Structure 1
């Protein structure tokens, strides 16, 4: 969830404040009843006989369950009167629309609208070929533009002590969050997406994003949403509405090596802050 630039002003990322949730399960490409999991995974919505044996996976990422997710897409302008009402750019990319390749949906009447996605083309957009991963989401920890989040990212981000993050301590042009993978589960399906923005509603909710107590998001808007997800994720998970609020979502951080092959790896976003 991003802030739109003033008319005629340079398109640059602005400050924001957001929320999100983190659920951590062990992930492999093995599937049972529609869920990707490993032994000891936390029980997710629709995971059939999967048994919860531990609140964290082998990598130590905490679990968040029962999260509300809303839909957003590159090129969306959901509130032209609000500072954070445009997805023409993201908190990490001042040229998100152009770098992505255009409207991640359908252009009708001069506006960029979302569209239904199909497994027939791997939930990719139907009117354009994306240059970046169409499986994306935001979480409410902006570690670049929010001063408080930036100041404590080395303390709260679990992978801050690894490379390449260690080499970029104090670097405001390098995000610890951008491009990180998340596994998202709903209704028996698990899909994977990369973090490409921050929000919704809050931008320094580290206790929710990285906490180990299944904390609820600070955000009170949009049904108390803890994340926004792209149209590809909406289609892949089979949300009830094309553009609405979906309750009952679970998610977890996933390291690159643990992301199974799928439509989400067809185009992988690698660019850093721009």
Structure 2
């Protein structure tokens, strides 16, 4: 995955983090993250977590047999050991690797451990893919609370050269944060466009974003679609195809309510259907 226009003063990621599970696609995700860490270059942190599950007999006593508890703990520890072995084997090519694990709810563990990295790499499942299992976390489980950008990797994508990027621009704090968080990729890209769609496309600051990027040595161009009758994601994908882009940069919009994630339509579609890598920030 060659990177171009590298500079000692350019923005860079010091560390990537990827959650590890034992389900479908686990090895492919680790391999993608390791290749990216090697190309940038930076440290790669793998994390694994799982909860202890005990049988419920419905007797209302609230008592847990000590033997059952110990057996369940042993199963979790065995799975975490398998996840570590998988991670270390597949991530061997990364410049430096670190492993962290816990007997804990996977989503909660990921939310705390992300403090150690600049970017979280997560694969999304395809519509016909098998479930990732109990240790897995989906991008939608994390993006709204993580406090770090997420790189969503679609099925079948093995590498990210980040040669061409489309910024899905909307004048919000989420989009501004996404542009800043993506700088280590954008400074290496050969083509960057700032796409604004809808009635406010002309006045929502896309040209200012191009000016901001120019200060970082990035020659971006504004693409304005004020009269578009297309759905925003369709316009994004049209620009991706026209440009031959391999990266989308976008803000993640939505809020949480009683631990259910309520996403804006564009965010949900990008999380679930984008055919190329998508960097999202909230």
User: TM-score range with shorter-chain normalisation?
Assistant: under 0.3
**Larger RCO, structure (CA 8 Å, separation 6 or more):** 1
Higher strand share: 2
Structure of higher CA gyration radius: 2
- Whose helix proportion is higher, 1 or 2? 2
Normalised to the residue count of structure 1, the TM-score between the two structures is 0.25
